[in-house]
């Protein structure tokens, strides 16, 4: 069974993107963070009721140790006028100011523009392309950036611009400046490192903080360098996995969004471990991206608050 078939079997039949937009047309997502939680739920509920909206989903977490409150509210506008979102955004600041809230409101059907970065491995890229095409991920891929020509035909087959930005020590600053220029030019809100095998500079990590997601294998012990799955095989590992996290200047140590694991045993050859690892990387990355674009992830220093 292919990875795509497995996804369909586990998650059910996918829905075309235009159907998603129809279903979600009058639904909105409000995210809130604040110091302290007292009175916020009531204030938000009152605000939405006064604007003729019904709450359909509410997730919240009060971090008492950090004295910080996080909430994600899905609501339906009973009168779906074209100006509904503008009215909500205009009126909510009065409520937010009472509690010092940081907040964001968007239509649930909103499709963010995403820039994907790759090197030569294509399994995560192909999985993302499939999920976007079938409507499983509600986003649009604005461009693919690589340091190699290898995957150009695969990407351009989907009508997506493919940019090659070679990396050498001498031109790394210029390459990263070009990359940031593409992020701005394509109006991309998220950057996905789909097995992009280059280390981003500290400066670039800061500029993309909270809007760049990376995926890497997650093995115990932590096997670094070349052929990690060969190293895992030689050590007789019993679990392999993958971790999707936000990019920071601490290499592969950013706030974790999603992880996937699989039990293995002595019958797995090194190539079997690598094949299972590719599936886990694709699944963990796709889940992390979905959580992010659905605004289910809140950053709390080096931690994440994730509403499933």
Q: Please identify every residue annotated as catalytic.
A: 252
Q: List phi, psi (to 5°) of 272.
A: -70, -40
Q: How does strand 68-77 pair with strand 53-63?
A: antiparallel
* Contact indicator for 236, 263 with CB cutoff of 8 Å: no
Residue with tokens 């190293």: 231
Run of H or E residues at 95: helix 84-99
Provide the 8-state DSSP code for 255.
P
Q: How many other C-beta atoms lie within 10 A of the C-beta of residue 289?
A: 27
Based on DSSP, count helices (H) and strands (E) in the chain, helices before strands.
Answer: 10, 13
* Cα diameter, the chain: 64
Residue with tokens 């030689």: 234
* Contact indicator for 125, 160 with CB cutoff of 8 Å: no
Would you state the structure tokens that stand for residue 88, as one six-digit string?
Answer: 């909500």
List beta partners, residue 193: 117, 214
Q: What is the DSSP string of 33-81?
A: EEE--TTHHHHHHHHHHHTTEEEEEEEEEEETTTTEEEEEEEEEESS--
Nearest C-alpha neighbor of 192 from the set 127, 150, 136, 246: 246
List beta partners, residue 61: 70
Nearest C-alpha neighbor of 131 from the set 9, 27, 217, 8: 8
């Amino acid at each position: 069974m292919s990875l795509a078939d497995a996804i369909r079997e586990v998650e059910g039949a996918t829905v075309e993107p235009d159907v998603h937009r129809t279903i979600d047309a009058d639904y909105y997502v409000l995210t809130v963070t604040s110091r302290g939680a007292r009175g916020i739920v009531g204030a938000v509920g009152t605000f939405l009721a006064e604007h003729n909206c019904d709450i359909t989903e509410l997730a919240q977490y009060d971090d008492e140790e950090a004295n910080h409150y996080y909430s994600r509210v899905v609501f339906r506008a009973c009168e779906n006028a074209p100006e509904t979102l503008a009215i909500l955004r205009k009126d909510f600041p009065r409520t937010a100011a009472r509690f010092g809230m940081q907040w964001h409101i968007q239509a649930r059907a909103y499709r963010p523009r995403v820039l994907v970065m790759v090197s030569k491995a294509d399994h995560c890229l192909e999985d993302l392309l499939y999920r976007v095409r079938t409507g499983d991920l509600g986003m649009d891929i604005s461009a693919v950036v690589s340091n190699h020509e290898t995957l150009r035909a695969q990407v351009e087959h989907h009508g997506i611009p493919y940019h090659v930005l070679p990396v050498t020590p001498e031109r790394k600053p210029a390459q990263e400046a070009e990359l940031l220029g593409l992020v701005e030019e394509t109006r991309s809100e998220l950057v996905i490192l789909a097995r992009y095998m280059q280390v981003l500079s500290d400066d670039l990590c800061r500029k993309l903080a909270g809007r760049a997601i990376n995926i890497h294998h997650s093995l115990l012990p932590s096997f670094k360098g070349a052929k990690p799955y060969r190293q895992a095989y030689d050590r007789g590992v019993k679990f392999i996995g993958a971790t999707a996290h936000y990019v920071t200047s601490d290499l592969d140590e950013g706030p974790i969004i999603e992880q996937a694991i699989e039990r293995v045993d002595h019958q797995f050859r090194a190539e079997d471990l690598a094949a299972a690892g590719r599936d886990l990387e694709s699944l963990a990355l796709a889940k992390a991206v979905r959580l992010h674009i659905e605004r289910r992830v809140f950053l709390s220093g080096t931690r994440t608050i994730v509403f499933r």
